[in-house]
Chains A and B, each alone.
Chain A
């Protein structure tokens, strides 16, 4: 009985292997140039403001480098300050586990010429500090190159987004009314109980 339990434990331990990883970020060449039309320290309002993005191949890499690039995704990425003490936004070298860039701004097929896009800050983008990064994908859908508007330390050309609060006046009023109803009912209960007590003493 004891040895069965031990074997079961060992078996479970052995099964505790993770799956295989994805492309490593450190292996990607930075061959794309990305710019975003922002001023230093600008605060964008979610659901209202927009910025213009441009991306394209860095001219010093012209040649055979971009033969495999089939698709480009431009992503909104968290700056280090918005990643502090937030494990769910962690930067991991293995791109299949990386959580730095969680929003796709533009998804277009790769073209040799520079492209631009006017991106409106969606309503559901959370409050935070961001930069922009573009990944180039091959025909298998794997990352083969990248570019970003910030420096390697992700400290320049950052911009802030002010997210929506999600609150509405009607919702606030409903909450307050229901709360008041609960408290008033409680007072009502006490009065009823006291009446019952009084009536039984009067009897």
Chain B
């Protein structure tokens, strides 16, 4: 077939040639972003980036939540109170608030490969040094610095949004994010297992938990090495090389930041993500202790139950991303917004129920249903984020991601610190707060596509106008906006099939419809 480099979605199945004459294993669009997501492939650069990012993010999650399943041991070793434990849990997720926003900027400026490898190596010492904690203060400090590593979420989402095209970006983001978050569940199984193995060889328990922490630390370090040596920022190459050759210009930090913070949609998504992902982080911190203390199960069992919450991420967050993409095919961005609101609100309802249930079996069942909904909501959120801004994608992703952590901090401070509420009451109230903080989605409006209750603006604003508004005329003269233009073109699919695309000639409508 003759290569058509102006076509958006080429149906060439295996190899695709673009204007630069490069060959990719997956079909690509005009930005060389893959238009298909093939999970069993590890083909460079698209699928390889996917596997590198989710594995490294998984490692960071394992490290950040390595303490909770071992808390019954640690709290006795370090003589911690509930307040100490609560504070450490808050510290674990608060560092990443600003780290995520900084990471967004770092990705915009230096590329996800360097940004994530650097952060992972900078936080690995905190995990190694967890073995040396000997007081409430030192314990809080190691959890605080380890938590910074959760900013790799932003580089993951940024990397996926750079490698995958609009029709599959929700899925790519959802699977990468979900499989990374899996670490929060896997650690609840891994750490008690490693701990008991070490104990079985005769090590006393107050030493065994310390040695156990070396495992996630080593895993994290190894993943950073893999990213550095095997990864690539964009389908066309790394930032440093592309910036030198002039294919990619080094953007202006102030402008990037300005266009992110002045976009209200970023703020709303930051809040709502605080009550899907933030809730997930909170539950990762409190759930093992909850089952251990309330239902008198042993450490191992509490770990397994807690793990199943995080392990649902295997399919629930990716499911959310996939659902976002499926709904968008027919209903466009409006469908994405509606689905997000419905799923997250249902998550809140099940959270309320979880706190009310008093028997072990039913509690586990409700927790599992709750986990599916709250994690799917996370996936659905990042089906919307890539479209909020093109120029400031990194900072918007960082703000949303950071908002997730703010939600975790707030929720733990209000409901799970010290002894003001019993854990079960805290869980119910958290569910109520989830429902309220999801309502702002009703106010998100894209002039080119509409919002939950309104259709697109009657002024007929196009995708190009929306994304071009981020560049001023001087920048346009220099041609910096070209990538945004391509993206705007590719994002036309967010209008959905319901809208008669006879308004603009679109290559995706088959000829018979014209």
Q: Do A and B come from one complex?
A: yes
The answer on a CB contact under 8 Å between A87 and B82 is: yes
CB atoms of B210 and A167 under 8 A apart:
yes
Q: Is the CB of A15 within 8 A of B362?
A: yes
- B297 close to chain A: CB less than 8 A: no
CB neighbours of A196 from chain B (8 A): 240-241
Interface residue count on the B side (C-beta < 8 Å): 52
Q: In the complex, how many angstroms separate the beta carbon of A177 from the nearest chain B beta carbon?
A: 9
In the complex, how many angstroms separate the beta carbon of A84 from the nearest chain B beta carbon?
7
Q: Does B132 lie within 8 Å of A167, measured CB to CB?
A: yes
Does B206 contact A163, Cβ atoms closer than 8 Å? yes
Residues of A near B79 (CB, < 8 A) are 126-128, 163
Residues of A within 8 Å of B419, CB to CB, are: 85, 87
Q: Is the interface of B mostly helix, strand, loop or mixed?
A: helix
Residue of A nearest to B293 (CB): A88
Interface readout for A16-34 with B: 1 if CB under 8 Å, 0 if not?
Answer: 1111000000000000000
In the assembled complex, which residues on chain B have CB atoms less than 8 Å from the CB atom of A174? 128, 131, 214
Partner of A164 from the list B72, B129, B204 (CB cut-off 8 Å) is B204
Chain B, Cβ-Cβ closest to A96: B296
B120 CB to nearest A CB, Å: 9
B77 interface residue, CB < 8 Å from A? yes
- In the complex, A189 Cα to B121 Cα: how many Å? 10
Binds A, one of B20-28, B321-329, B352-360, B498-506: B352-360
A167→B79 CA distance, assembly (Å): 15
> Distance in Å from the Cβ of A88 to the closest Cβ of chain B?
5
Chain B 292-311 against A: per-residue CB contact (8 Å), 1 yes, 0 no?
11001000000000000000
- Proximity string of chain B (35-50) to chain A, C-beta cutoff 8 Å, 1 when within and 0 when not: 0000000000000000
Query: If A86-B82, A186-B121 touch, does A168 touch B207 (CB 8 Å cutoff)?
Result: yes
Complex Cα–Cα for A193 and B225 (A)? 13
Q: A183-B121, A189-B118 are in contact. Are A166 and B81 (CB under 8 A)?
A: no
Q: Which residues of B contact A163 (CB under 8 A)?
A: 76-77, 79, 206
Nearest CB in chain B: distance from A54 CB, A: 28
Interface 1/0s, chain A 180-201, versus B by CB < 8 A?
A: 1111011001100100110011
Among B158-207, those with CB < 8 Å from A are: 204-207
Q: Which residues of B contact A168 (CB under 8 A)?
A: 207
